[in-house]
Amino acid sequence: MAYGGAAPKPDTRALAVEAPVNLVYGSVPHAVMMATPADLEDFAYGFSLTEGIVDSAEEIRATRVEATVDGLRLHVDLAPGRLREHLARKRAISGRTGCGVCGIEDLAQLPRAEARAAAGVRVALPAIARALSGLDRAQSLGAETRAVHAAAWARLDGSLAAVREDVGRHNALDKLIGALIRSGAATDAGFLVITSRCSFEMVEKAARLGAAVIVAISAPTSLALERAHSYGMTLCAIARADTVTVFSGAERLTTDP
């Protein structure tokens, strides 16, 4: 029932699907994530990379989705050597809620990427504006449901190369990262745009990809900024088509069209 005038009237709305997705490696369950059940092969690749289970797409041999009564199982077939390493250090984690890091027991276990961002990347401010405008139009599921996040990879001219959506902001970014590493995209030839707040986990995922620039529509957290500094990453946030705040790495940005 919709209310907005003199009298309520019947109405229908499209809803975003949220389903439990159990990632399984070598027949051993690893994590259950609440996700939108689309682009799950990309999700398998991106999650595996950003969680440190693999270092490259080549270490994943195949993926398979199995429907069950309770949800979906996303089977990920790893190369034998990588599977042995993963099982040797496996820890059980539950799906992130956005307010904690599940499955770790000590502060020293907080995730941290190893590589610094490429120093030679330059992004023009007009390209950021173009990417933001393009992302508004590219969010088909978001336009229909108003209930999902999006993550996009923009080329250096601001045109969008890939967009992924999900009810979870982490999942949207993992799906995008999976699509990028599957296609072999060069991480020095573009930048990330996300529609959510920029927490430290989002910066960590961007760093695992090797992205030098991340643009967020909402504000960053203090730890996100700290990590961006440590990785030499440019962090832009509170981004709109006509304004953006640069929190770190301003030297990468130019005003050239």
Q: Catalogue the active-site residues.
A: 99
For the beta carbon of residue 55, count every other beta carbon within 10 angstroms: 12
For the beta carbon of residue 88, count every other beta carbon within 10 angstroms: 7
Distance between CA atoms of residues 9 and 4, nearest Å: 9
Distance of CA 35 to the CA centre of its chain: 12
> Quick one: which of 169, 170, 163, 155 has its CA closest to 139?
163
Distance between CA atoms of residues 112 and 87, nearest Å: 20
Under a CB-based contact definition with an 8 Å cutoff, are residues 76 and 23 in contact? Answer: yes
For the beta carbon of residue 218, count every other beta carbon within 10 angstroms: 15
